[in-house]
Amino acid sequence: MSLRFDSTRTPDIVVIGAGLIGLAIALELIDRGAQVTVVDRGQSLGGASTAAAGMLAAADPGNPPELQELSRLSAERYPAFLGRLEALSGIAVPFQTNTTVQYLEDGSTVRLAEHSLDPRQLAAALRAAVNATSIRLLEHTQIAAADQNSGGATIRLNGGTAINAQAVVYAAGAWTSEVMAALDNDPISVTPCKGQMLRVRLPFPLDEVHRSERIYICPRTRGPQAGTALIGATVENAGFDMSVHGVDLDALRALAAKLIPELASEAEAPMVESWAGLRPATPDKLPILGACSRPGQFIATGHYRNGILQAPGTALVMADVLEGKAPCIDISALSPLRFACSVTG
Protein backbone atom coordinates (compact mmCIF):
# COMPACT_ATOMS: atom_id res chain seq x y z
CA MET A 1 0.00 0.00 0.00
CA SER A 2 1.28 3.47 -0.89
CA LEU A 3 0.16 6.42 1.23
CA ARG A 4 -0.07 10.00 0.07
CA PHE A 5 0.44 12.22 3.10
CA ASP A 6 -1.82 15.26 3.21
CA SER A 7 -1.21 17.95 5.83
CA THR A 8 -4.84 19.09 5.58
CA ARG A 9 -6.05 15.76 6.95
CA THR A 10 -5.55 14.81 10.60
CA PRO A 11 -4.29 12.27 11.19
CA ASP A 12 -2.76 10.41 8.26
CA ILE A 13 -1.44 7.67 10.57
CA VAL A 14 -2.50 6.26 13.94
CA VAL A 15 0.23 4.43 15.87
CA ILE A 16 -1.03 2.15 18.64
CA GLY A 17 1.67 1.99 21.29
CA ALA A 18 3.72 4.86 22.72
CA GLY A 19 6.90 3.00 23.52
CA LEU A 20 10.26 3.69 21.93
CA ILE A 21 9.35 1.85 18.72
CA GLY A 22 5.99 3.57 18.27
CA LEU A 23 7.29 7.06 19.01
CA ALA A 24 10.37 6.60 16.81
CA ILE A 25 8.09 5.61 13.92
CA ALA A 26 5.89 8.63 14.61
CA LEU A 27 8.87 11.00 14.47
CA GLU A 28 10.09 9.49 11.20
CA LEU A 29 6.62 9.83 9.69
CA ILE A 30 6.18 13.49 10.60
CA ASP A 31 9.59 14.21 9.10
CA ARG A 32 8.11 12.88 5.84
CA GLY A 33 5.09 15.16 6.04
CA ALA A 34 2.53 12.90 7.72
CA GLN A 35 0.17 13.85 10.51
CA VAL A 36 0.38 11.28 13.30
CA THR A 37 -1.65 10.37 16.36
CA VAL A 38 -0.16 7.93 18.90
CA VAL A 39 -2.51 6.11 21.27
CA ASP A 40 -1.50 4.15 24.37
CA ARG A 41 -3.64 2.64 27.09
CA GLY A 42 -0.91 3.49 29.61
CA GLN A 43 1.80 6.11 29.95
CA SER A 44 4.18 6.71 27.09
CA LEU A 45 7.52 4.93 27.41
CA GLY A 46 6.25 3.15 30.49
CA GLY A 47 7.04 -0.44 29.47
CA ALA A 48 10.13 -2.17 28.11
CA SER A 49 11.47 1.14 26.78
CA THR A 50 12.79 2.18 30.20
CA ALA A 51 13.28 -1.29 31.72
CA ALA A 52 16.13 -2.23 29.37
CA ALA A 53 19.88 -1.94 29.99
CA GLY A 54 20.44 0.13 26.85
CA MET A 55 23.14 -1.89 25.09
CA LEU A 56 23.28 -1.19 21.36
CA ALA A 57 24.40 -4.77 20.85
CA ALA A 58 24.63 -4.93 17.08
CA ALA A 59 27.83 -7.00 17.29
CA ASP A 60 26.57 -9.52 19.88
CA PRO A 61 27.61 -12.96 18.55
CA GLY A 62 24.41 -14.40 20.02
CA ASN A 63 22.20 -12.34 17.69
CA PRO A 64 20.43 -14.34 14.96
CA PRO A 65 21.83 -13.66 11.47
CA GLU A 66 18.40 -12.37 10.37
CA LEU A 67 18.93 -9.36 12.67
CA GLN A 68 22.27 -8.28 11.26
CA GLU A 69 21.06 -5.83 8.63
CA LEU A 70 18.46 -4.15 10.83
CA SER A 71 20.89 -3.98 13.76
CA ARG A 72 23.69 -2.56 11.61
CA LEU A 73 21.36 0.04 10.06
CA SER A 74 20.10 1.10 13.48
CA ALA A 75 23.57 1.36 15.00
CA GLU A 76 24.71 3.52 12.09
CA ARG A 77 21.66 5.80 12.43
CA TYR A 78 21.87 6.22 16.22
CA PRO A 79 24.05 9.38 16.28
CA ALA A 80 21.67 11.12 13.86
CA PHE A 81 18.65 9.83 15.82
CA LEU A 82 20.02 11.23 19.08
CA GLY A 83 20.92 14.46 17.29
CA ARG A 84 17.34 14.80 16.07
CA LEU A 85 16.01 14.28 19.59
CA GLU A 86 18.40 16.89 21.00
CA ALA A 87 17.46 19.40 18.30
CA LEU A 88 13.77 19.02 19.19
CA SER A 89 14.04 18.62 22.96
CA GLY A 90 17.23 20.40 23.98
CA ILE A 91 18.21 17.23 25.86
CA ALA A 92 21.46 15.48 24.93
CA VAL A 93 21.58 11.71 25.40
CA PRO A 94 25.21 10.62 25.86
CA PHE A 95 26.63 7.21 25.12
CA GLN A 96 27.52 5.62 28.46
CA THR A 97 30.10 3.19 27.08
CA ASN A 98 31.81 2.58 23.75
CA THR A 99 33.24 -0.92 24.24
CA THR A 100 31.87 -4.32 25.24
CA VAL A 101 33.98 -7.14 26.60
CA GLN A 102 32.31 -10.26 25.21
CA TYR A 103 33.02 -13.53 27.05
CA LEU A 104 32.96 -16.48 24.65
CA GLU A 105 32.03 -20.08 25.35
CA ASP A 106 35.66 -21.24 25.14
CA GLY A 107 36.63 -18.90 27.99
CA SER A 108 38.31 -16.28 25.80
CA THR A 109 37.15 -12.67 25.42
CA VAL A 110 36.88 -10.19 22.57
CA ARG A 111 36.38 -6.43 22.68
CA LEU A 112 33.57 -5.12 20.53
CA ALA A 113 33.17 -1.53 19.37
CA GLU A 114 29.63 -1.08 20.70
CA HIS A 115 27.78 1.75 22.43
CA SER A 116 25.37 1.69 25.33
CA LEU A 117 23.08 4.42 26.66
CA ASP A 118 20.68 5.01 29.52
CA PRO A 119 17.10 4.30 28.35
CA ARG A 120 15.72 6.63 31.01
CA GLN A 121 17.70 9.51 29.55
CA LEU A 122 16.58 8.43 26.08
CA ALA A 123 12.94 8.33 27.20
CA ALA A 124 13.11 11.85 28.66
CA ALA A 125 14.57 13.23 25.43
CA LEU A 126 12.13 11.33 23.22
CA ARG A 127 9.10 12.41 25.22
CA ALA A 128 10.18 16.05 25.09
CA ALA A 129 10.95 15.75 21.37
CA VAL A 130 7.50 14.35 20.63
CA ASN A 131 5.91 17.15 22.65
CA ALA A 132 7.80 19.67 20.50
CA THR A 133 6.22 18.35 17.28
CA SER A 134 2.74 18.12 15.82
CA ILE A 135 2.38 14.50 17.00
CA ARG A 136 -0.85 14.06 18.93
CA LEU A 137 -0.13 11.78 21.90
CA LEU A 138 -3.13 10.20 23.66
CA GLU A 139 -2.02 8.44 26.85
CA HIS A 140 -4.22 6.36 29.17
CA THR A 141 -6.60 5.92 26.25
CA GLN A 142 -8.39 2.68 25.42
CA ILE A 143 -9.31 1.72 21.86
CA ALA A 144 -12.74 0.13 21.47
CA ALA A 145 -12.59 -0.80 17.76
CA ALA A 146 -10.61 -0.43 14.55
CA ASP A 147 -12.88 -0.54 11.49
CA GLN A 148 -11.94 -0.47 7.84
CA ASN A 149 -13.45 2.16 5.60
CA SER A 150 -12.91 3.34 2.06
CA GLY A 151 -10.25 5.81 3.13
CA GLY A 152 -8.33 3.47 5.43
CA ALA A 153 -9.50 2.86 9.00
CA THR A 154 -11.61 4.37 11.73
CA ILE A 155 -10.23 4.05 15.27
CA ARG A 156 -12.97 4.27 17.88
CA LEU A 157 -11.88 5.22 21.38
CA ASN A 158 -13.72 4.37 24.56
CA GLY A 159 -15.98 7.30 25.21
CA GLY A 160 -17.15 7.59 21.62
CA THR A 161 -14.39 9.56 19.92
CA ALA A 162 -13.58 8.35 16.39
CA ILE A 163 -10.33 8.97 14.48
CA ASN A 164 -10.17 8.45 10.73
CA ALA A 165 -6.77 7.52 9.32
CA GLN A 166 -5.14 6.27 6.17
CA ALA A 167 -3.19 3.68 8.12
CA VAL A 168 -2.81 2.09 11.56
CA VAL A 169 0.51 0.81 12.94
CA TYR A 170 0.37 -1.70 15.79
CA ALA A 171 3.46 -1.16 17.95
CA ALA A 172 2.25 -2.11 21.41
CA GLY A 173 5.21 -4.28 22.39
CA ALA A 174 4.35 -7.24 24.61
CA TRP A 175 0.69 -6.20 24.48
CA THR A 176 0.40 -6.22 20.67
CA SER A 177 -1.35 -9.61 20.39
CA GLU A 178 -3.79 -8.64 23.12
CA VAL A 179 -4.58 -5.33 21.41
CA MET A 180 -5.05 -6.90 17.98
CA ALA A 181 -7.22 -9.71 19.32
CA ALA A 182 -9.43 -7.20 21.10
CA LEU A 183 -9.91 -5.44 17.76
CA ASP A 184 -10.68 -8.71 15.91
CA ASN A 185 -7.54 -8.34 13.86
CA ASP A 186 -5.09 -10.91 12.46
CA PRO A 187 -3.78 -13.40 15.03
CA ILE A 188 -0.16 -12.50 15.74
CA SER A 189 1.85 -14.40 18.36
CA VAL A 190 3.66 -11.89 20.56
CA THR A 191 4.12 -12.93 24.17
CA PRO A 192 5.67 -11.16 27.17
CA CYS A 193 9.09 -12.44 28.24
CA LYS A 194 9.89 -11.24 31.73
CA GLY A 195 13.32 -9.95 32.67
CA GLN A 196 14.37 -9.10 36.22
CA MET A 197 17.46 -6.99 36.83
CA LEU A 198 19.23 -4.95 39.47
CA ARG A 199 21.46 -1.91 39.66
CA VAL A 200 24.44 -1.88 42.02
CA ARG A 201 26.95 0.72 43.13
CA LEU A 202 30.34 -0.12 41.70
CA PRO A 203 33.36 -0.53 44.00
CA PHE A 204 35.67 0.88 41.29
CA PRO A 205 35.35 2.79 37.98
CA LEU A 206 34.08 0.70 35.06
CA ASP A 207 33.67 2.07 31.54
CA GLU A 208 33.07 -1.08 29.49
CA VAL A 209 30.10 -3.45 29.27
CA HIS A 210 30.94 -7.00 30.31
CA ARG A 211 28.71 -9.63 28.73
CA SER A 212 28.45 -13.39 28.34
CA GLU A 213 25.68 -15.50 26.90
CA ARG A 214 24.02 -15.66 30.35
CA ILE A 215 24.68 -12.29 31.99
CA TYR A 216 25.64 -8.67 31.34
CA ILE A 217 27.06 -5.88 33.44
CA CYS A 218 26.26 -2.49 31.92
CA PRO A 219 27.87 0.48 33.70
CA ARG A 220 26.58 4.00 33.88
CA THR A 221 29.37 6.53 33.42
CA ARG A 222 27.45 9.77 32.87
CA GLY A 223 24.35 11.33 34.38
CA PRO A 224 22.49 10.67 37.64
CA GLN A 225 23.31 6.93 37.63
CA ALA A 226 27.08 7.37 37.15
CA GLY A 227 29.15 5.02 39.28
CA THR A 228 26.59 2.22 39.14
CA ALA A 229 26.01 -0.75 36.85
CA LEU A 230 22.99 -2.75 35.72
CA ILE A 231 23.13 -6.53 36.09
CA GLY A 232 20.67 -8.57 34.09
CA ALA A 233 18.59 -10.19 33.15
CA THR A 234 16.39 -13.19 33.76
CA VAL A 235 14.44 -14.73 30.86
CA GLU A 236 11.06 -15.94 32.09
CA ASN A 237 7.75 -16.98 30.56
CA ALA A 238 5.63 -15.53 33.34
CA GLY A 239 2.86 -13.79 31.46
CA PHE A 240 2.40 -10.18 32.46
CA ASP A 241 3.75 -10.72 35.98
CA MET A 242 6.33 -8.07 36.86
CA SER A 243 7.18 -9.07 40.42
CA VAL A 244 10.81 -9.14 41.53
CA HIS A 245 12.26 -11.95 43.66
CA GLY A 246 15.36 -11.83 45.81
CA VAL A 247 16.44 -15.34 44.89
CA ASP A 248 16.53 -14.40 41.21
CA LEU A 249 18.49 -11.21 41.91
CA ASP A 250 20.98 -13.24 43.95
CA ALA A 251 21.38 -15.63 41.02
CA LEU A 252 22.07 -12.71 38.67
CA ARG A 253 24.65 -11.29 41.05
CA ALA A 254 26.38 -14.68 41.28
CA LEU A 255 26.59 -14.91 37.48
CA ALA A 256 27.96 -11.35 37.30
CA ALA A 257 30.60 -12.24 39.89
CA LYS A 258 31.96 -14.89 37.54
CA LEU A 259 32.93 -12.03 35.22
CA ILE A 260 33.80 -9.41 37.88
CA PRO A 261 34.35 -11.11 41.27
CA GLU A 262 33.97 -7.90 43.31
CA LEU A 263 30.27 -7.80 42.43
CA ALA A 264 29.57 -10.85 44.58
CA SER A 265 29.55 -8.82 47.78
CA GLU A 266 26.54 -6.75 48.80
CA ALA A 267 28.90 -4.81 51.05
CA GLU A 268 31.28 -3.93 48.19
CA ALA A 269 28.60 -3.51 45.51
CA PRO A 270 25.33 -2.64 47.29
CA MET A 271 22.08 -2.87 45.35
CA VAL A 272 20.56 0.50 44.49
CA GLU A 273 17.33 -0.72 42.91
CA SER A 274 15.69 -3.66 41.15
CA TRP A 275 12.83 -4.06 38.67
CA ALA A 276 11.32 -6.24 35.97
CA GLY A 277 10.33 -5.54 32.38
CA LEU A 278 8.40 -7.38 29.68
CA ARG A 279 10.15 -8.04 26.37
CA PRO A 280 7.88 -8.59 23.32
CA ALA A 281 8.84 -12.06 22.08
CA THR A 282 7.80 -13.91 18.93
CA PRO A 283 8.12 -17.68 18.40
CA ASP A 284 11.41 -17.24 16.51
CA LYS A 285 12.61 -14.27 18.61
CA LEU A 286 12.63 -12.00 15.54
CA PRO A 287 10.67 -8.75 15.09
CA ILE A 288 7.48 -8.57 13.04
CA LEU A 289 7.68 -5.75 10.50
CA GLY A 290 5.14 -5.49 7.72
CA ALA A 291 1.51 -5.19 6.67
CA CYS A 292 -1.58 -6.97 7.96
CA SER A 293 -4.00 -8.64 5.58
CA ARG A 294 -6.37 -5.71 6.11
CA PRO A 295 -5.39 -2.79 3.86
CA GLY A 296 -3.88 0.11 5.74
CA GLN A 297 -2.93 -1.86 8.86
CA PHE A 298 0.72 -2.54 9.74
CA ILE A 299 2.76 -4.16 12.51
CA ALA A 300 6.06 -3.20 14.15
CA THR A 301 6.69 -5.30 17.24
CA GLY A 302 8.47 -8.35 18.65
CA HIS A 303 11.94 -6.79 19.07
CA TYR A 304 12.58 -9.02 22.10
CA ARG A 305 15.95 -8.01 23.60
CA ASN A 306 16.94 -5.48 20.94
CA GLY A 307 14.21 -2.84 20.98
CA ILE A 308 16.49 -0.01 22.12
CA LEU A 309 19.05 -0.84 19.45
CA GLN A 310 16.63 -1.39 16.59
CA ALA A 311 14.33 1.62 17.06
CA PRO A 312 15.94 4.00 14.50
CA GLY A 313 16.19 1.31 11.82
CA THR A 314 12.66 0.10 12.47
CA ALA A 315 11.33 3.66 12.14
CA LEU A 316 13.08 4.06 8.79
CA VAL A 317 11.96 0.79 7.21
CA MET A 318 8.39 1.03 8.51
CA ALA A 319 8.03 4.57 7.13
CA ASP A 320 9.30 3.26 3.80
CA VAL A 321 6.77 0.41 3.86
CA LEU A 322 3.96 2.83 4.70
CA GLU A 323 4.95 5.03 1.76
CA GLY A 324 5.10 2.04 -0.58
CA LYS A 325 8.86 2.31 -1.00
CA ALA A 326 11.36 -0.54 -0.97
CA PRO A 327 13.27 -0.40 2.35
CA CYS A 328 17.01 0.11 2.12
CA ILE A 329 17.57 -3.31 3.72
CA ASP A 330 15.95 -6.70 3.16
CA ILE A 331 13.29 -7.25 5.84
CA SER A 332 11.66 -10.29 4.22
CA ALA A 333 12.84 -12.53 7.08
CA LEU A 334 10.93 -10.27 9.48
CA SER A 335 7.67 -10.32 7.53
CA PRO A 336 4.45 -11.49 9.21
CA LEU A 337 4.18 -13.92 6.27
CA ARG A 338 6.55 -16.28 8.04
CA PHE A 339 3.82 -17.18 10.50
CA ALA A 340 0.90 -19.44 9.65
CA CYS A 341 -1.78 -16.76 9.80
CA SER A 342 -3.69 -14.60 7.37
CA VAL A 343 -1.15 -11.78 7.15
CA THR A 344 0.69 -10.37 4.16
CA GLY A 345 4.11 -8.70 4.34
User: What CATH number has the domain bearing residue 250?
Assistant: 3.30.9.10
Q: Give the span between the Cα atoms of 97 and 81, in whole angstroms.
A: 17
> What residues of the chain score a pLDDT lower than 50?
1, 341-345
For residue 321, being part of any structural domain is answered with yes
Task: Kindly state whether residues 23 and 81 are assigned to the same domain.
Answer: yes
Neighbours of 16 (CB within 10 A): 27
Q: Give the span between the Cα atoms of 135 and 325, in whole angstroms.
A: 23
For residue 110, being part of any structural domain is answered with no
Task: Kindly state whether residues 145 and 243 are assigned to the same domain.
Answer: no
For residue 287, being part of any structural domain is answered with yes
Confirm if 140 and 42 have CB atoms less than 8 A apart.
yes
Task: Kindly state whether residues 160 and 196 are assigned to the same domain.
Answer: no
Task: Kindly state whether residues 221 and 310 are assigned to the same domain.
Answer: no
Q: What angle do CA 75, 49, 31 make, to 5 degrees?
A: 60
Task: Kindly state whether residues 226 and 267 are assigned to the same domain.
Answer: yes
Per-residue pLDDT tens for 17-69?
999 999 999 999 999 999 999 999 999 998 888 999 999 999 999 999 999 99
Residues paired with 235 in a beta bridge: none
Structural domain span for residue 68: 13-94+120-190+283-338
pTM across the whole model: 0.94
Task: Kindly state whether residues 267 and 304 are assigned to the same domain.
Answer: no
Task: Kindly state whether residues 186 and 334 are assigned to the same domain.
Answer: yes
Per-residue pLDDT tens for 79-123?
999 999 999 999 999 999 999 999 999 999 999 999 999 999 999
Number of domain units in the chain: 2
Task: Kindly state whether residues 265 and 138 are assigned to the same domain.
Answer: no
Say if strands 228-232 and 162-165 run parallel, antiparallel, or are unpaired: unpaired
Confirm if 37 and 168 have CB atoms less than 8 A apart.
no
